[in-house]
Amino acid sequence: MSTIEQNLQQVIGLISSTAHQCGRDPQEITLLAVSKTKPVTAIEAAIAAGQRAFGENYVQEGVEKIVYFQQQRITPPLSWHFIGPLQSNKSRLVAENFDWMHTLDRPQLARRLNDQRPQGLSPLNVLIQINISGEHSKSGLAPAQLGELVSQVVELPRLRLRGLMAIPAPEPDYQRQLAVFQQMAALFTDLQRQLPGIDTLSLGMTDDMPAAVVAGSTMVRIGTAIFGARNL
Ligand SMILES: *Cc1c(COP(=O)(O)O)cnc(C)c1O
């Protein structure tokens, strides 16, 4: 068994045991393997172990991998998630190649992605990124501005709003991780009450995944625990 396969089994085991401990069904939680900076051979090892959803942060690198794996015709098919900050001038590559976009945080970017999504593809699944820790350096929308962006995004036919995403400030303490994730879960539940089709809360990375699962995450984004430390 490859190291990546062993790592994946451990991560899946931790998601499962954490879910069971808090009375959740592990099937509600999708594991997104964050493959940024990793070569296609690492992704191939994850695919061989059954992994299908991958997250990339850099547009160019992500598109190269998507094109490479399209030629391999993997079944069941892979899904590709853009999870990095996106400059508006690179929106077309995301609209034309990815299945999901996790970091939508402004109306102008939403309009561009909508206009650039090819007709032959299904609508782009989008998550609105919330700046839940309130750090001025990080991207994401202030919670108070969520309603306005939601009302604009739901009018765009080539986007399909699926939920929310956040990257909280790094915090070693479990209880504090949980408190921040619970604020996100409350926003998510509110949104679910207002709109149909809201089913995805993208929360949790290698160092805070259990707290995210306890708070209600439906999609954890794990890089280091699967692929090892990043190649810089
Ligand atoms: C890199 C990255 C991850 C994965 O982080 P790890 O700590 O390696 O699990 C998850 N989400 C986003 C947005 C990232 O940029």
Ligand 1 atom nearest 209 alpha carbon: 9
Residue 162, classed as helix, strand or coil, is strand
Domain membership flag for residue 22: yes
Return the structure tokens found at 104: 């939508």
In whole angstroms, what is the distance from residue 13 CA to residue 7 CA? 10
Global confidence as pTM: 0.97
Spacing, Cα 222 to ligand 1 middle (Å): 6
Ligand 1 atom nearest 207 alpha carbon: 7
Residue nearest to atom 13 of ligand 1 (CA): 83
Number of domains the chain is built from: 1
Spacing, Cα 221 to ligand 1 middle (Å): 6
Domain membership flag for residue 42: yes
Q: Which long-range contacts does 39-44 make (Cβ < 8 Å, 24+ apart)?
A: 40/65, 40/68, 40/69, 42/4, 42/227, 43/69
Domain membership flag for residue 131: yes
Spacing, Cα 131 to ligand 1 middle (Å): 16
Q: What parts of the chain have a pLDDT lower than 50? A: none
pLDDT tens-digit readout, 192-222: 999 999 999 999 999 999 999 999 999 999 9
pLDDT at 136: 63
**Among candidate residues 196, 158, 219, the one with its CA nearest the CA of residue 15:** 219
83 Cβ inside 6 Å of ligand 1: yes
Domain membership flag for residue 44: yes
Q: Determine contact, residues 51/44, Cβ cutoff 8 Å.
A: no
Residue 56's domain is classified under what CATH number? 3.20.20.10
pLDDT at 7: 98
Domain membership flag for residue 232: no
Spacing, Cα 77 to ligand 1 middle (Å): 23
Residues in the chain: 232
State how far the alpha carbon of 162 is from the alpha carbons of 7, 21, 125, in Å. 28, 26, 6
Ligand 1 atom nearest 36 alpha carbon: 1
Domain membership flag for residue 105: yes
Domain membership flag for residue 116: yes
Query: Which among 81, 201, 205 is the best mutation to test ligand 1's pocket, defined by most ligand atoms within 8 Å of the CB?
Result: 205
Alpha carbon dihedral 139, 145, 148, 149, in 10-degree steps, equals: 10
Domain membership flag for residue 41: yes
The domain of 59 spans 3-227
pLDDT at 137: 57
Spacing, Cα 9 to ligand 1 middle (Å): 18
